[in-house]
Amino acid sequence: MTAQSTNVSTLIQEIHKLNVSNLESNHAAQAEMLACAQRLTQELMHPKTVMFTNANSPLHNACVRSAINLDLFRKVSKAESSVTAAELAGGSADKRIFIIRLMRVLTNIGFVKEDGPGKYSATAVTRDMATPSSEACVKHFFDQICPVIATLPQYLEDHDYKLPTDPQKGPFQDYYNTDLTSYDYWSQQPPVIDNFNIFMGLRGAQPWFEWYPVEQQVSDNLKKEDQETVLLIDIAGGNGHDVQAFKNRFPSFPGRLMVQERDAVIDEIEEKGGGIEYVKHDMFNPQPIKGALYYYFHHIFHNWSDADCLSILHALIPSMTINHSRILLHEHIVPTTHCSLRTASLDLQMLLAHSARERTLEEFETLLNKAGLKVVKVWQAPDEGEPVVEAMVMG
């Protein structure tokens, strides 16, 4: 038996041993099975196939982006049964021919199901891609980040592989010929920042407050009469997606709910109120709200260097109450081995767009300790979502 045959046989045996009951809710079993299946696929693929698949991956992204322009995911998802390329083309012969060619790629990468010659139906991925936040995610990365990706090899060569830490001097600025940060650059283009804000509504299967002990901590720290105490501040919280979801889940909690954002972002929010306060605040300036229970950051620290993150923390910590206030960092954590492709890719996207990075748990602990904080616990999401790092002021 060859080495490949032995490895394949071993992996098949591992898969057979896995618990396949209640996979929809057993996220750990899902992850374990997927890891085995991926290793099996890698073992079976010829090295040249791996190479060609990787070489063609930019084209796959372009196909998904083209499908969005043609509204294919929404059209296929709405169809009660198979839909034909001619129906998707709306009577255009040229579009029909292109859609057939495009679908050959999309069906191979799992975005649509092929039911027959020129006939297609929706998969779970198709239906997900028909949602505004997933569509906006692809638009953002393809339109804004992919052009910068193409410059990365030469950028690293030109800078002798010295990685940037200044958000105004990195690959993004080199490509777009600007000294603005990526966020400031996008903010000057209404269609871009509007799409970005929709993308920021993209969330995991289970919100953080479903598996973090919110109810117990609120019960221990707030009384019903504490209506003026601030319960939760979502710092740099965009349009307030997370706070709104939190309020919908816990409508009777005492305390105030707040979103803090830059002036331009707050000004663009059309619907304010509903029991949520929208406050203009730059997180690099001293925190004006003292004694909140939760100071929450969702995917914020991976946008900034260690020096900038320390500046953010130093501006916040004087407003925290010892043994009461908590900082919650809802972030990807890079494992020391077997990092997922998603996290590894996002780490390099942070390099390209923000001269920043994802961090290991040790790096988070070092960063927080430098600021005078201690990590209380890392709360793991039950699905593929990101964990929450809970930190308090050292007493």
Active-site residue list: 302
* Cβ(319)–Cβ(294) below 8 Å: no
Give the closest residue to 156 by CA, choosing from 355, 1, 346.
355
Write the single-letter amino acid at 340. Answer: S
What is the rounded end-to-end Cα distance, in angstroms, of the chain? 62
Question: Which residues contact residue 113 at a Cβ distance below 8 angstroms, ignoring those fewer than 6 apart?
Answer: 107, 120, 121, 122, 123, 126
- For residues 238-260, one letter each, b for 16 or more C-beta atoms within 10 angstroms of the residue's C-beta and e for the rest, the string is bbbbbbbbbbeebeebbbbbbbb
Place of tokens 């130093």: 314
Instruction: Report how far residue 297's alpha carbon sits from residue 277's, in angstroms, rounded to the nearest whole number.
Output: 16
CA distance 318 to 314: 7
DSSP single-letter state for residue 159:
T
Angle between the N-to-C axes of helices 57-69 and 132-140, in degrees from 0 to 180, rounded to the nearest 10: 130
Q: Mark residue 232 as left, alpha or beta (left: phi above 0; alpha: psi -120 to 50; beta: remaining).
A: beta
The answer to whether the beta carbons of residues 333 and 361 sit under 8 Å apart is yes
Token duo for residue 339: 């990092």
What is the enclosing helix (H) or strand (E) of 243? helix 241-249
What is the distance between the alpha carbons of residues 13 and 19, in angstroms, rounded to a whole number? 12
Q: Could you give the CA distance from residue 395 to residue 374 in angstroms, rounded to a whole number?
A: 9
> Measuring CA to CA, how many Å separate 221 from each of 56, 197, 217, 229, 263?
54, 33, 6, 10, 31
